[in-house]
Structure 1
Amino acid sequence: MKIKQSIRKQVVEKLKHLTNEQYIKQSAQIAQHLFDSRCWKKAQLIAITIPRDQEVDTYEIIKMGWKQNKIIAVPRADFKTKTMTFYELTSFDKLEESAFRVKEPKESLCRTISKEEIGLVIVPGVAFDKRGYRLGYGGGFYDRFLPQIKVPTIALAFTCQLVKEVPIDIHDWKIDHIISPMGFYR
């Protein structure tokens, strides 16, 4: 557990040192690799999170999804049950800031999406390794959710988020693909 905390701290510190120019450029490169992928082209409904802090910018990805008539689903977390419910997002005006400074859909304004409707999941995280393992923020939301679905999963990562090895526990779930600014890392 201490190793995970150490990796998380090191990567978060590196993310803080990305310049605005690096952040914008690398986010755009990652997004373009995603748009060029078969997974993106094939999926009609994409589950994705709103970025917080220095996560890869997903706003432009969401806008492209809308432009291509894809349905965008964003999760809302229940911290008591450690579960997520996805909602269709049709406008950024339908977001509100909730726990831990996370932007989530306003339940009253967004349609609930069943996990069976999802065609692709963009999985957030702090650090990723070549095997497909990820280090999240420690809540375990995605490690509980991912075993319930049978669709492609992709993580988006800046170069500084790619590590040699993420320590794993029995409940940790592999990501199918990881996209970095250079292309598919996995």
Structure 2
Amino acid sequence: MANKSTIRKQVLKERLALSDDEFLVMNQLLLAQFKTLDFSQIKSVHFFLPIVRKREPDTFLMIDWLQENYPEIHIVVSRSNFEDHSMSHHPFSKEDLKENSYHILEPQTTTVFEDEIDMVLVPLLAFDQKGYRVGYGKGFYDRFLSGLESKKVGVSLFEVQHEDISDVHEDDIRLDFCLTPKQIYKW
């Protein structure tokens, strides 16, 4: 068992140590796993956009594939409010993205996506065998996911590295699935 702070440091270090080739291959494998998900009942998918300098998984590959193969599915991305740690959700457009001061690409439109979100791709650094995740520790996604009926899908470059996270909080939201380069975990 390890705590979130220790896991954060360890996994971020491992991600940053990946070679460009390893990172590319892992992202292609993640895309292959993403393609196996069932989109038959999905009308909208919320994506996180990768923080490149932190070697987050390249969700643009998944967005491009989804737009090509399921053009009827709405793609939604968020803009973060760092004062209250909330997020607003907006229709995706590559031309509308701009990097904020935290190096996160965000939509600039004021148009808010009002419909239900059927699936949320959730960023993480690590996850345990129960489906709990370690993020960056600000709680943006736990607040967003609280009360949502959406499928919660983590995206990880690494397999389960911890049997249990020692400091899971009662407000932490469990994932339904987690995509990794080798498999999809289900809870």
* Aligned match of 1:57: 58
Could you tell me how far 1:164 is from its partner in structure 2? 2.6
SS at match of 2:102: helix
Mapped partners of 1:94, 1:178: distance in 2 = 28
* Residues 8-47 of structure 1 aligned to structure 2 (within 5 Å): 8-38=8-38, 40-47=39-46
Corresponding residue of 1:119: 118
Which residue is 2:92 aligned to? Answer: 89
User: How far apart, in 1, do the equivalents of 2:160 and 2:109 lie?
Assistant: 32
> Which residue of structure 2 aligns with residue 177 of structure 1?
177
Corresponding position of 1:78: 81
Asked if structure 1 preserves the Cα contact closer than 8 Å seen for 2:178 and 2:184, the reply is yes
For residue 141 of structure 1, what is the aligned residue in structure 2?
140
State how far apart, in whole Å, the 2-side matches of 1:165 and 1:11 are. 15
Give the CA deviation at 1:76. 0.5
Could you say which structure has the higher helix fraction? Answer: 1
TM-score of the superposition, structure 2-length normalised? 0.89
Output the amino acid matched with 1:59: F
The sequence identity of aligned pairs, in percent, is 26
Aligned position for 2:47: 48
Number of equivalenced pairs: 180
Runs of at least 4 residues off by over 6 Å? none
Relative to structure 1, is the Cα distance of residues 144 and 125 closer, same or farther in structure 2, using a 3 angstrom cutoff? same
1:113-133 deviation digits (Å, cap 9, x = unpaired):
13x421100011111112100
Q: Tell me which residue corresponds to 2:154.
A: 155
Structure 1 residue runs of 5 or longer lacking an equivalent are none
Distance 2:99 2:133 in 1: 25
Give the counterpart letter for 2:174 in structure 1.
K
Contact in 1 for aligned 2:124/2:134 (Cα 8 Å): yes
Letter in 2 for 1:33: Q
Q: Deviations over 1:127-148 (max 9, x none)?
A: 1112100011111011111113
In 1, the alpha carbon distance for the partners of 2:40 and 2:83 equals 35
Distance of 1:160 and 1:21 partners within structure 2: 18
Q: Which shifted more, 8-17 or 166-175?
A: 166-175
Structure-2 separation of matches of 1:175 and 1:99: 28
**TM-score (structure 1 length as normaliser):** 0.90
Instruction: Look up the SS of the partner of 1:100 in the other structure.
Output: coil
Indicate if the aligned counterparts of 1:14 and 1:160 stay in contact, CA closer than 8 A. no
Which residue does 2:67 correspond to in 1? 66
| Runs of 5+ consecutive residues of structure 2 not aligned to the other structure | none
> Taking structure 1 as reference, are residues 42 and 35 closer, same or farther at Cα in structure 2, changes over 3 Å only?
farther
